[in-house]
Structure 1
């Protein structure tokens, strides 16, 4: 998945910059609010909230911020104003894109999503226009540099716990599970002292298209960046890979 790794590495660099700017705390806080609202404030009985808390802690979000967000979601604040939405559309070169949103103003967000797509060479589609190209999967991200096990041992451990597959993006191992099995696999890895930097239910493409043209590549990177920078966006999923033939200069 080397072409995918090229895009993944770009995302990692940007994620680090977002963390430094504090933008990531906004997104984590909204997920905490929505998770607590959906399943209650007790992480022992709300796996989505437990994962949200783990992800927030992995990003070094202060405990006070975490607790305030949970309280908002549980009703002690304005958390009830947020709702979850999904937008679907196409980017340059016909890449399929889905965007998960948490917003307190769906009309404003809809207009902004439409503007971002059109400004960056894409177009917003109707509900159902591209979601058939994706499959919902659990994904556990494990930094390679912090792993004390071998790759083979990690894979065997994950498969024994119920995982479907393991992949990598040069910097991390990615454990793929059925959504309903992610909790068991997550717990099994934690019990073996495996550091998990992120856990999420993601939309993985059933098939991918390769983008080799530098202009198309630049345009889709700009579109993905614009979507991911939006405060209401919780996740962006796409079915493209960047060709290995593209150099860093091609993508600048």
Structure 2
């Protein structure tokens, strides 16, 4: 399946590598999870996942605790929104946001598209069907046999188990259908398989490819979108 669904992984990690950008996004995810399901990670699977993702990025414990505490205050009132757009050469862009000011967020997102040639924001639902939602778990099998793990996880909704691009030979990516995200998460816990990170992703059903010149133009737009503090994730239909 690869990494086609989430724009080029290496480029995105390079852009999001600065703590000043990624930590606030991770903190927002933690706050939203805590507000929705409670502040106890043992009783809140979404919060456990958000904390695991933060730890995978080496987010300090104090930052994590502060994000959880914020859920009970006025500053923790975030709204999750999505935006859909298109750019030149048939590129489709799906954006997931978490914001405390939807008016600000939509104005910013709209401006990024308006300032980019042959690009525009679309009405919600225009391209949603062009992406398939799946659960994605980056896991570490240690000395466990891949075939045995794969067989055991099928009962928990495993869709596929693939080798990660990580240099560690024991690192894999487990995929589930959207509705089986929680079930597979519990399955991994019950089998005591280390989860490095987990999230819901959007995979394009008909991916396309661009040449280098076209990618350079698209990069400018994607950089603006991903640098926005309210943006949590960006997906394209790039192969």
TM-score (norm 2): 0.84
Query: Of 49, 55, 60, which aligns to 1:57?
Result: 55
**Which consecutive residues of structure 2, in runs of 5 or more, have no partner in the other structure?**
none
Structure with higher RCO (Cα < 8 A, 6+ apart): 2
Closer, same or farther: CA 220–167 of 1 in aligned 2, 3 Å: farther
Is 1:159–2:157 an aligned residue pair? no
SS at match of 1:116: helix
Rounded Cα–Cα distance in structure 2 between residues aligned with 1:79 and 1:3: 32
1:201 match: 200
1:68 maps onto 2:66 in alignment: yes
Kept in 2, the 8 Å contact 1:227–1:233? The answer is yes
More helix as a share of residues: 1
| TM-score scaled by length of structure 1 | 0.80
**1:92 corresponds to which of 47, 70, 88:** 88
User: C-alpha distance in 2, partners of 1:148/1:228?
Assistant: 37
Shift of 1:208: 1.0
1:69-218 alignment, distance < 5 Å? 69-73=67-71, 75-80=72-77, 82-121=78-117, 122-142=119-139, 147-149=142-144, 152=147, 154-168=149-163, 170-171=165-166, 173-211=172-210, 213-218=211-216
1:2 and 1:84 map into 2 onto residues whose CA distance is: 27
For these two proteins, the number of residue pairs brought into alignment is: 233
Does structure 2 retain, via aligned residues, the 8 Å contact 1:8–1:169? no
Counterpart of 1:4 in structure 2 is 4
Structure 1 alignment gaps of length 5 or more: 242-252
